[in-house]
Amino acid sequence: MAACSFNMMFTYVYAGWEGTANDSRVLLDAIRKDDNFPMPPPGKYYVVDSGYPNMPGFLAPYRGERYHLRRFRGRGNHPRGAMELFNYRHSSLRNVIERCFGLLKARFPILKSMPPYLLGKQRRIPIACCTIHNWIKMHSINDRMFEQYSVDATPVEDIEGTESQSNTTIENQQEGDEAGISEAPQINFSQAYMAQMENVRDDIAGQMWLSYNNNV
């Protein structure tokens, strides 16, 4: 699981799970066990895909509505309603994490086919790759791969070749808003706790839709 900024820098990486695990389970494990997990301050949030719960500090898209960018391409496929507009812009922002991971896998092919090292060594490899990724971003002005993957309009599907969700989050602030889609397990949070972020999402979607209609 990883978080990145909009300038394609990894801000948090959590590795070490053996086998596969649900996104929400990994996130909650990181929050509970890692004292260095960067929880967003009040009024800020991570933009996350729908594999994660829509809870305070984590803003997920609407389920059951169009989401991926390619579904909005073509004449007549513009958003039809506040929820679809929110998901479209959410997907546009989430595109940066997919471009970030697309670049990482292209630069470090070992991540696509991990050798059968001991789990402890396997855990360190993606963390090391993300660290080198950040170093290159900070110190190499004309890196060819960053130039290729830094195009904001590059669709998620065109990089990864799939619409599948990634175990990722995207750091964002109150004025920006967007993420990804899939099913998440039921987690026992109180209704009031979950409703807090649902109200934030509805307010953002409503303001977007009002502005969108005023400018059409």
pLDDT class of 135 with cuts at 50, 70, 90 = very high
* Listed range (86-100, 121-135, 155-169) with the worst mean pLDDT: 155-169
Pick from 6, 9, 4, 13: nearest CA to 125:
13
Give the chain's domain count.
Answer: 1
Segment 74-100 shows an average pLDDT of 90
Token pair recorded at residue 57: 């500090």
Range of the domain at 179: 2-215
pLDDT class of 181 with cuts at 50, 70, 90 = very low
Angle formed at CA 129 by CA 37 and CA 26, multiple of 5 degrees = 35
**pLDDT higher than threshold 70 for residue 177:** no
pLDDT class of 216 with cuts at 50, 70, 90 = low
**pLDDT higher than threshold 90 for residue 42:** no
Instruction: List pLDDT tens digits, range 31-40.
Output: 999 999 999 9
